[in-house]
């Protein structure tokens, strides 16, 4: 029994290491978008986002190794847990992708979208944090985890509103700045896609709660 508990603790430790890097990257990305809005984007901070993705990849591989060594310590099937690892890794990849886009973004943020961009940015950060909280709760408390999925659903709806408010403004801009319009819209869409991705993963977690109702 003690051996099984030790294996479970080892699994939870490597999962936490992985999740911590994903959240750290998301938080740094949130700061970078804020910096863009304020007109003081830091290239060094963007590099930190990219570094977090690399660290998350290392933690992910450790997680997968422990996962396959200690199958019996799992509250649900190894295949489902592996799928979750890949889903969360996708969030980390998206953070890196957006950070790299910001590295080559040659414009300032339009003044008339800053307020809504801030809302979308905050929504993105919160959705990732809630998702990681939900994943942690999946180990011990399905009921609370289930409720968090609805909070993430609400964030997606709010994020969608912000996205289309931003796009409605920038699509009315002069054709002379078509490149700025296009690149700004891409940043907005990528930011919302991270929110939508978090909501899709929460849906999958909810399906696991239905699949393993006794937890």
pLDDT of residue 209: 84
Confidence label for 213 from pLDDT (cuts 50, 70 and 90)? low
Q: What gap in Å lies between CA 129 and CA 20, rounded to an integer? A: 10
pLDDT digits (tens, 9 = 90+) for 85-117: 999 999 999 999 999 999 999 999 999 999 999
pLDDT of residue 73: 45
Domain 2-211 has CATH 2.40.30.10: no
> Mean pLDDT across the stretch 52-61?
93
Could you tell me which of 90, 109, 126 has the C-alpha nearest to residue 166?
Answer: 109
Q: Above 90 in pLDDT, residue 64?
A: no
Could you tell me the CA-to-CA distances from 213 to 54, 56, 75, 208 in Å, in that order? Answer: 35, 30, 11, 8
Q: What gap in Å lies between CA 24 and CA 157, rounded to an integer? A: 24
Q: What gap in Å lies between CA 149 and CA 204, rounded to an integer? A: 10
pLDDT of residue 11: 77
Percent of the chain with pLDDT over 70: 90
Domain ranges (residues) in the chain: 2-211
183 — phi, psi (to 5°)?
Answer: -70, -35
- Spell 37-71 as b/e; 16+ CB within 10 A means b: beeebeeeebebbbbbbebbeebbeebbebbeebe
pLDDT digits (tens, 9 = 90+) for 140-153: 888 898 899 999 99
Could you tell me which of 111, 129, 115 has the C-alpha nearest to residue 29?
Answer: 129
Percent of the chain with pLDDT over 90: 67
pLDDT of residue 3: 42
Sign of CA dihedral 136, 161, 164, 111: negative
pLDDT of residue 37: 95
């Amino acid at each position: 029994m003690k051996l099984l508990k030790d294996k479970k603790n080892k699994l939870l430790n490597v999962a936490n290491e992985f999740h911590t890097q994903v959240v750290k990257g998301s938080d740094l990305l949130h700061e970078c978008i804020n910096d863009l809005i304020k007109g003081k984007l830091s290239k060094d901070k963007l590099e930190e986002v990219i570094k977090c993705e690399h660290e998350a990849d290392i933690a992910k591989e450790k997680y997968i190794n422990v996962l396959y060594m200690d199958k019996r310590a799992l509250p649900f099937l190894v295949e489902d847990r592996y799928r979750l690892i890949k889903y969360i890794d996708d969030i980390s990849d998206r953070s890196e992708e957006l950070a790299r886009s910001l590295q080559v973004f040659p414009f300032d943020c339009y003044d008339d979208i800053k307020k809504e961009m801030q809302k979308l940015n905050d929504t993105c950060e919160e959705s990732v944090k809630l998702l990681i909280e939900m994943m942690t709760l999946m180990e011990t408390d399905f009921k609370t985890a289930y409720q968090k999925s609805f909070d993430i659903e609400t964030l997606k709806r709010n994020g969608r509103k912000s996205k289309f408010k931003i796009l409605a403004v920038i699509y009315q801009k002069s054709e002379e700045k078509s490149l700025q319009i296009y690149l700004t819209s891409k940043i907005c869409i990528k930011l919302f896609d991270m929110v939508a991705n978090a909501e899709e993963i929460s849906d999958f977690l909810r399906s696991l709660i239905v699949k393993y109702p006794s937890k």
